[in-house]
Structure 1
Amino acid sequence: MTTQKPRGIRNNNPGNIRRSNDPWQGLAKEQNDREFFMFKSAVYGIRALARLLITYQDKYGLCTIEMIITRWAPAVENNTKAYIQSVARHTGFAALQTLDMHRFEHLKPVLEAIIQHENGQQPYSDVEITKALVLAGVEPGQKSLQTSRTVKGGQVATAGTLGAGGIEAIQDSLEPATTTLMAIAPYLEAAKWLLLVVTLIGIGVMLWARIDDRRKGLR
């Protein structure tokens, strides 16, 4: 027996945005649902939900879960109190905590919690939701360059290269050394090869990070 998907998921409208005269981006050519919009892809439906949450804040000053959900799901047709509790529980934010819908780390969990409550599931990947939020004008915070996998690989490669150069400098300075000092030359040569291996590993990390990001649709 096949279980039918929730209406919001079928319509690519996981926020269950009701039909109106609003000319949303990405609307499906055929609007076969008389009550709710239908979008041509879930990304556009998620984007529309994000834009509404941003508008609630910018136009009406609604910046807490309690304020947002009270308008989103009025008590005349919803159990608003239960809805607020559900969103607070899924996001980890307090119902009266001040949020900023222009911040990715606030908007994303609130949006995901609304999708979960509206449909009984949140089936979309981080890549889909991130794409939708970027289309809505809210981008994720950039990772610090110090924590970037690509940069870390570069740091390893650079360290290896500089280290090899340092070994060469030491060797040059030992040219006039005595026979006793020259006895350590084999160890310096071995260290140089070790640093070469470290350099190659660093370059490999950078290349793998780029390939992995592309595979995940992050670049």
Structure 2
Amino acid sequence: MTAKAPRSVRNNNPGNIDHVPANKWLGILPMDQRNADQLAEPRFEVFESPVYGFRALELLLQTYHDRYGADTIRKIINRWAPSNENNTDAYVRAVAKAVGVRADDPIDTHQYVYARPLVEAVANHETGIDPRTGKAYRWDPAQIDEGLRRAGVIQPAAQVAKIPVTKETVGATSVGALGLAQLGDVMPKVADAMSQQDANISSGSWIRIAFGVATIAVAVFIAWSQVRKHQAGLE
């Protein structure tokens, strides 16, 4: 007998969401397009693609949060997977670990930082082992993100901190930290900083040359120190 994909995979329903006639989900697969396996289990929703399944999963978690006050992993899973059908304690532990919080820590299912690992953890737990491979089934990350996006949860854009441009930092950070887009502003400051010691370095006097080199070395050290302080503030 050929092994079948897990039910959640067959139904494009990562959370194994029950069919509720009142819930008019987007992306529900029409009955006349369902195969025999899908028709054999009318309890569960069947979606056209996993994207719609993840969208529905996320919207349900938002409803739990807003309407029922389910703002911790324990509250969410106790409602999602009642103990009469599931090992709820193990479910809670697995999801909390995946999200990176304790079971009773407050979370907001509207926020990507919590919603993304939460829906994936629920989907992985609901799906379990794929009989076709004998290994845990893993959902497509791009489909998860698109499902969240359609539920109104979007990954925040990465924020890049700016390093201040000063005469002390320009020599040490103009190329490595500021980037090509800022070179136009940096180069005049570089020329100014170097020109201040040009006379000493080209004078022919060893004392003046040493003084000029030492001055530039001090400036580089100050620049390096400022960059390190700036980086430490970002970590």
When the two structures are superposed, what TM-score results if normalisation uses the length of structure 1? 0.68
User: What's the Cα RMSD here?
Assistant: 3.1
Structure 1: unaligned runs, 5 residues or longer: 171-176, 182-219
AA aligned to 2:25 is: W
Aligned to 1:26: 27
- Once residues 17 and 47 of structure 1 are traced to their aligned partners in structure 2, the CA distance between those partners, rounded to angstroms, is 11
Please say if residues 57 and 101 of structure 1, whose CA atoms lie closer than 8 Å, have aligned partners that are also in contact: yes
Please say if residues 115 and 122 of structure 1, whose CA atoms lie closer than 8 Å, have aligned partners that are also in contact: no
SS of alignment partner, residue 12 of structure 1:
coil
1:33-182 to 2 correspondence within 5 Å? 33=39, 34-120=42-128, 121-146=136-161, 155-164=178-187
Q: 1:129 deviation in Å?
A: 1.2
May I ask how many residue pairs the two structures share in their alignment? 176
- Once residues 63 and 131 of structure 1 are traced to their aligned partners in structure 2, the CA distance between those partners, rounded to angstroms, is 23
Aligned to 1:7: 7
AA aligned to 1:67 is: K
Query: Aligned pair in 2 of structure 1 residues 60, 20: CA closer, same or farther (>3 Å)?
Result: same
Query: Aligned pair in 2 of structure 1 residues 138, 10: CA closer, same or farther (>3 Å)?
Result: same
- Once residues 63 and 125 of structure 2 are traced to their aligned partners in structure 1, the CA distance between those partners, rounded to angstroms, is 21
Q: 1:163 deviation in Å?
A: 4.6
Q: 1:130 deviation in Å?
A: 1.3
Please say if residues 112 and 122 of structure 1, whose CA atoms lie closer than 8 Å, have aligned partners that are also in contact: no
Sequence identity of aligned pairs in percent?
37
When the two structures are superposed, what TM-score results if normalisation uses the length of structure 2? 0.64
Aligned to 2:215: none
- Once residues 154 and 44 of structure 1 are traced to their aligned partners in structure 2, the CA distance between those partners, rounded to angstroms, is 42
- Once residues 190 and 160 of structure 2 are traced to their aligned partners in structure 1, the CA distance between those partners, rounded to angstroms, is 28
- Once residues 103 and 140 of structure 1 are traced to their aligned partners in structure 2, the CA distance between those partners, rounded to angstroms, is 9
Structure 2: unaligned runs, 5 residues or longer: 129-135, 163-174, 194-198, 204-235
Q: 1:142 deviation in Å?
A: 2.5
AA aligned to 2:143 is: E
Please say if residues 11 and 39 of structure 1, whose CA atoms lie closer than 8 Å, have aligned partners that are also in contact: yes
Q: 1:60 deviation in Å?
A: 0.5
- Once residues 117 and 77 of structure 2 are traced to their aligned partners in structure 1, the CA distance between those partners, rounded to angstroms, is 14
**Runs of at least 4 residues off by over 4 Å:** 152-155, 163-170
Deviations 1:68-104 (A, max 9, x none): 1111111222221221122123222111111111111
Q: 1:124 deviation in Å?
A: 2.3
Query: Aligned pair in 2 of structure 1 residues 52, 162: CA closer, same or farther (>3 Å)?
Result: same
